[in-house]
Each structure stands twice: as C-alpha cells, then as structure tokens.
Amino acid sequence: MEFLDSHCHLDDARFDVDREKLIEEIRKADITKFVSAGYSKEASKTGIALSKKYEFIYTTCGISPNDIPQTEDELWKDIGEIKTLVKENIDDSKIVAIGEIGLDYYWEKDLKRRDWQKQAFVRQIEIANKFDLPIVIHTREAVMDTIEILKKNPVDKKGVFHCCPLNRELVKEALKLGFYISFAGTITFKNSKNANEIIEMVPNDKMLIETDSPYLAPEPVRGTRNDPRNVKFIAQKVAEVKKISLEDVAKITYKNATTIFDI
C-alpha cells in the first residue's frame, strides 16, 4: 500500500533537528511521494532544493496570504521573485503547482492588506497559467471572495483546495469549478461538526489527503509535531465515512494527486 501526502511543510524549522533522518523514515512508512508546499519566497526555495535532492519529493512555489510582506512594494517584488524561481527551476526541479496562495481573513483584519491578498492571489493565478501549472489554495473565513476571484480569473489547470475548510458552500462551488478537495487532520478532530457530511460530498475522483505538517496533527496523535507518516490516519477517517477500504483510499488519492500535479 502506497500513500501520497499532497501537502506538507518539510522546510519548517521544527524539522531542522532531524529532517534527513525523518525523510527516510517517512519513506519506510509507505509514504512514497510527498509535496513540500511553498508559502513564502524562502519556503519555495527550500522546497525546490528538497525536490532536487530527493527523487520522491515534489514542491510548490508561492506567497500565502499569511506571508504578505509589510509593504506593497515588497509584495510585488516577492511575487516577481516567485515567477523568476519557477522560470529558472521548472525544467530541472519538480515544481508541480503555484501555492499555497489565496485569502485568509481570520488572521488579517486590515482592509488594505486584505486587498493586497486579493491582488496577490490574482497575480499568482496568472503565473500558474503562464507556466501551465495548477494552483494550491489556502482559504480561511474568505469563502465568497475566494470563489469570486476564481470565477473572474479562471485557472487553466484548476488545482486543489488544501486543508479545505469544512464549509458546504465552499466545497459545492469548488467542485462546480473543477477543483480537487484535500482533507487534512481537521476531519479527525472530535469537534469537527461537518466532517462526515463534507467527506461524503466529495466524489472519490476529486479528493486528496494531506498532513499540512508540522501543523494539525490528526487524532490519535493530536498535539504532537505532525509529519507525513500521519497521513494514514486521515485516509482511515475517509475510509470509515465512505465505507471503503483503507487500501482503496490510498489508491484513489494517490492517483488523484499524480493526476492534478502531473507527477
């Protein structure tokens, strides 16, 4: 049985003490491919380096809404550097998407900076289209604006709602637009009200699994440093709700991830 963790952050400082050892342990645990997701200029560079070093690691590049710089000039400079990074490395690394990008109003209350998030989202969709890549979307408490931007700025190769919020309307609209839905550790939490309903809403051919590690460790290891080995707990939850085998979930999500990311 093979698993593919479609979104983790192996560049995170919490992995500095044992990154190389952990990567080998992940492989031994049947997690045979994983995507180290970029969220800033620095994280994107680290992801590219990891993808070049390990044949089973892939990466994304982008500026997340929670990593918008302090000034508008810095923001456009960083996005320009993301575009250059992709252009210079797309042929000899394994860049599979632009992301994570999107909107996050939970952390950002300033209306001007929310507008910067929107503009950054659109500009990075343009980068994705230029390089014929899908996008990886982060959205939190910004459902309507996220969907509106995607409708007004079509993404040629679509993409994934990563760690998708358990919001019926968001999932409904995302599926109508042709996007994939990625489930993370939140679906295993005891206080996740809509988890089972949302899992049932997503067709098998549109679902992915991810850890978003080192964050959001699933039950039964919640509260620990998360890593890609824990993607099995998320797959098990999906299997229970959909009443299919763990092996089927592994096969389905592996195939879906390799399809959308062209791995």
Ramachandran assignment for 216, one of left (phi > 0), alpha (psi -120 to 50 degrees), beta (any other): left
pLDDT at 200: 98
Give me the mean pLDDT over the 12-26 stretch.
95
DSSP letter for 212, please. Answer: -
DSSP 112-179: HHHHHHHHHHHHHHHHHHHTT--EEEEEES-HHHHHHHHHHS--TT-EEETT--S-HHHHHHHHHTT-
Task: Note the pTM of the prediction, 2 decimals.
Answer: 0.97
pLDDT tens, residue by residue, 34-66: 999 999 999 999 999 999 999 999 999 999 999
Average pLDDT score over the chain: 97
Read off the amino acid at residue 167. N
The rounded distance, in Å, linking the Cα atoms of 223 and 29 is: 21
DSSP 57-105: EEEEE---GGG--SSHHHHHHHHHHHHHHHHHHTTTS-EEEEEEEEEET
Among candidates 196, 187, 181, which has minimal Cα distance to 242?
196
Among candidates 64, 120, 59, which has minimal Cα distance to 90?
59
pLDDT at 120: 98
pLDDT at 20: 95
The rounded distance, in Å, linking the Cα atoms of 188 and 49 is: 32
Q: Take residue 124 and report the two structure tokens written for it.
A: 């990075």
User: Does residue 193 have a pLDDT over 90?
Assistant: no
Give me the mean pLDDT over the 177-203 stretch.
96
pLDDT at 119: 98
Backbone angles phi, psi at 160, to 5 degrees: -135, 135
pLDDT at 14: 95
Q: Take residue 121 and report the two structure tokens written for it.
A: 């989202």
Please tell me which residue, 154 or 91, carries the higher pLDDT value. Answer: 154
